Amino acid sequence: MAKKDIAIVGYHETKIDVNTGRSPFDFAGEVLDGLLDQTGLEKDAIDGFAVCSAMSGMSTPFWSVVVSDYLGMELNWCQQVDIGGSSPLGAVSRACSAIRDGQCEIVFVLGADSQSTANLSNARGWQPEFQNPVGLMGPPGAFGFISNRYDGVYGLDLTALARIAVAQRGHAVMNPNAFEKFRVPITEDDYLNSRMISDPVRLLDCVMPCDGGNGVIVMSTERAKALGMDKMVHPTGYGERNNHGVNDNNTDILESGHCVAGPKALAQAGMTVDDLDMFQPYDDFIIAVMLQMENIGFCERGQGAAFVKDTDLTHTGNLPLNTSGGQISAGQAGLAGGGTNLVEAVRQLMGEGGERQVAKASNAMVTGIGAIPYLRNWSCSTVMILEAG
C-alpha cells in the first residue's frame, strides 16, 4: 500500500441486538443513511460498492448487485467479499485497489446481517461427512479441539483468557451500540465458572449471534481533501492469507495465516508491534485473540498467557484491546461481525471513542478471521494497519 494515499472518511454502526425481525437490507439502509449524514456526501456521488456476504437474505449469487439495487445505487464497480469474518478488511483492501486502478472514486463498504431471520447461506468451511460423524458440530467444537491442542503443547492458562474476557467486557459497558444484555461487567470468576460448551471452551468464550450492520466510506486522500473532509483514517498496511497449511498432511492447528499476514501488514506500514497504539482483533472465541497475538508476533508461540498477564489491555493501558468490547462482548452481527472491530478502530483514530477513547490513538491494528475448515486452523486471516490522518 502507498503511504496514506487512500482515506476512510466516515463510519457508521447500528445498535447490535437480537430478534429484531429486521432484514440485512434494512440494516444496510440505516448504515448508508448514517454515512451520508456524517460525511455530507450525496448518494449519487458513491460509484463503488463492496459488501460482505450475509448468512441471512443471501439466497442469491448476485448479492452485491441485489443489495445495491435495493439501496438505489448506480455503480461503476461492485463486489461481494466472501472470506467470512475477514471480509470487512478484505473489502476495504479491494476498494483501495479499485480506486487506485481508476475503476471508481468513492466506495461504500458494507456489512449487514440478521441472525433472527432464516439462515439461507448454508455457510461452512468444511465438508460435513468428515465432521458430523464424530460430533464436531460448528465452531465451538472446532475451537474446543484447538484449545485442547494448545493445552497439550503449551499448557492453557485459563486465568489469562479470563483477563482478556474481563477487559473486553469492560469496554462493552461503555459502548452504547453493544448488545444491551452484555453491558454489565464480569469478573474473572464469572468467566471461569461460566457454563462449559465444548471443553475447555466456556459460555463466556463464545460470540452471541446478533443482528446489525456497519460500514465505512473509502476514497482517495486527494479527493477527500478536495471535498473538505477534516477527519481521515488511512489504511497503510494490509496482509491476507487464505488456506494456510492446506497442503500439509500434518498441519500445526495452532498456526494460522496471521503468521504471514501480520508481518506483511506491519512491513508495508513500516512498523513493528511495539509501535501499535491499539489492537482490534477479530474475536469469535477468546483463545483466538491470544493465538493471534502469538502468530502476529506480539510474543513467542506458547507465551500468550504471559504476555496477556504482563499487558494492560484496558483502554487506558499500554495495549488497548477491542475497545468496543469486540464481538464477544458487543455481539456478533453475523458475517458483518468483523466490521465491528474495523469501525471501532476508525472511531478511535478519529478521536470519537467517548469515555473509552484511547489517549494516544495515532494507529491501530485490526484483524479478521474467516471460516473453520476440517483439521486446520481458520481458513482466512487478514491484518490491516490504520493510521490517523
Residue 203: how many CB atoms within 10 A of its CB? 14
Phi and psi at residue 165, to the nearest 5°: -60, -45
Note the pTM of the prediction, 2 decimals. Answer: 0.96
The grid coordinates of residue 149 equal 491442542
User: pLDDT per residue over 51-77, tens digit each?
Assistant: 999 988 666 789 999 999 999 999 999
In the chain, the amino acid numbered 150 is: Y
Q: What pLDDT, on a 0 to 100 scale, did the predictor assign at position 159?
A: 99
Please list the residue range(s) of the chain that carry CATH number 3.40.47.10: 6-117+210-226, 130-206+235-388
Mean pLDDT of 156-184: 99
Where does the pLDDT of residue 3 fall: very low under 50, low under 70, confident under 90, or very high at 90 and above? confident
Query: What do you get for the CA distance between the two ends of the chain, in Å?
Result: 15
CATH topology (fold) of 130-206+235-388: Peroxisomal Thiolase; Chain A, domain 1 (3.40.47)
Question: Looking at the DSSP assignment, which residues form a beta bridge with residue 217?
Answer: 10, 108
* CATH superfamily ID and name for 6-117+210-226: Thiolase/Chalcone synthase (3.40.47.10)
Mean pLDDT value across the chain: 94
Q: How many residues does the chain have?
A: 389
User: What average pLDDT does the segment 174-182 reach?
Assistant: 98
The residue-averaged pLDDT of 34-49 equals 99
Alpha carbons 237 and 96: distance in angstroms, whole number: 11
For the stretch 189-209, pLDDT in tens is 999 999 999 999 999 999 999
Task: Say yes or no to pLDDT of 185 above 70.
Answer: yes
